[in-house]
């Protein structure tokens, strides 16, 4: 089949636009399609860093434009692996807590910008508080979620922790959660 120069140019432009269109519209049958970044958990991290670049590339490769970002992929790798002593696990837990509380929110805004620059969105942040999380650490998860531009938090936690979050929110003992409660009442 022979193409004119004009037809060839139009086909070329259409071919270049197709991947951008695929990333921009991941709605199939009226349902938004995204990915949980946990699906990419085995991708390599930047040495000494996180998995942000690998997740972004995987999303671009699959044509998906939204994700639920799994917290451990943007946090430091735990120094306590399998077989670690209780003392080593506790030290590693404290290091992650310090990182969560002390890392500037601009770090999370930077991750958001990397996703946005690639035409991708963080729809949700998977942050799963455990019984050993302090109220400050739980509050910080909400702050990180907002800085990442995610619309909501997803979580795997216990009923006791979920009740604690709700009680803190209702009692006002948690400043950020009280703000969220107040904002929800404004609707």
Q: Residue 114, CB half-sphere, CA atoms under 13 Å: how many?
A: 17
Domain of 48, in residue numbers: 23-157
pLDDT band at 5 (very low <50, low <70, confident <90, very high): low
Judge whether 4 lies within some domain.
Answer: no
Judge whether 105 lies within some domain.
Answer: yes
pTM for this entry: 0.77
pLDDT band at 39 (very low <50, low <70, confident <90, very high): very high
Judge whether 27 lies within some domain.
Answer: yes
Q: How many angstroms separate the Cα of 187 from the Cα of each of 114, 123, 124, 183?
A: 32, 21, 21, 7
Contact call for residues 155 and 127 (beta carbons, < 8 A): yes
Contact call for residues 98 and 134 (beta carbons, < 8 A): no
- Interval 43-80: pLDDT, tens: 999 888 999 999 999 999 999 999 999 999 999 987 77
Q: How many angstroms separate the Cα of 170 from the Cα of each of 89, 110, 154?
A: 33, 32, 20
Judge whether 13 lies within some domain.
Answer: no
- DSSP alpha helix (H) spans, the chain: 5-24, 52-62, 86-102, 105-117, 135-148, 159-171, 175-185
Judge whether 1 lies within some domain.
Answer: no
- Interval 147-171: pLDDT, tens: 999 999 999 999 999 998 888 777 7
Judge whether 15 lies within some domain.
Answer: no
Contact call for residues 129 and 96 (beta carbons, < 8 A): no
Tell me how many domains the chain contains. Answer: 1
User: Cα angle vertex 180, ends 106, 138, to 5°?
Assistant: 60
């Amino acid at each position: 089949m022979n193409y004119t120069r004009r037809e060839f140019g139009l086909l070329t432009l259409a071919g270049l636009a197709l991947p951008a269109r695929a990333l921009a519209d991941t709605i199939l049958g009226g349902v938004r399609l995204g990915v949980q970044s946990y699906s990419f958990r085995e991708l390599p991290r930047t040495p000494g860093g996180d998995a942000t670049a690998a997740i972004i590339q995987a999303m671009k490769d699959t044509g998906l434009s939204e994700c639920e970002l799994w917290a451990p992929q943007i946090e430091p790798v735990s120094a306590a692996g399998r077989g670690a002593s209780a003392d080593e696990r506790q030290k590693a837990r404290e290091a992650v807590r310090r990182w969560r509380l002390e890392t500037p929110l601009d770090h999370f805004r930077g991750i958001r910008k990397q996703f946005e620059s690639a035409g991708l969105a963080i729809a949700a942040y998977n942050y799963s508080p455990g019984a050993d999380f302090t109220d400050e650490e739980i509050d910080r998860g909400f702050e990180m979620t907002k800085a990442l531009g995610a619309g909501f938090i997803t979580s795997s936690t216990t009923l006791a922790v979920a009740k604690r979050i709700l009680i803190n929110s209702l009692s006002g003992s948690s400043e950020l959660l009280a703000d969220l409660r107040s904002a929800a009442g404004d609707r």
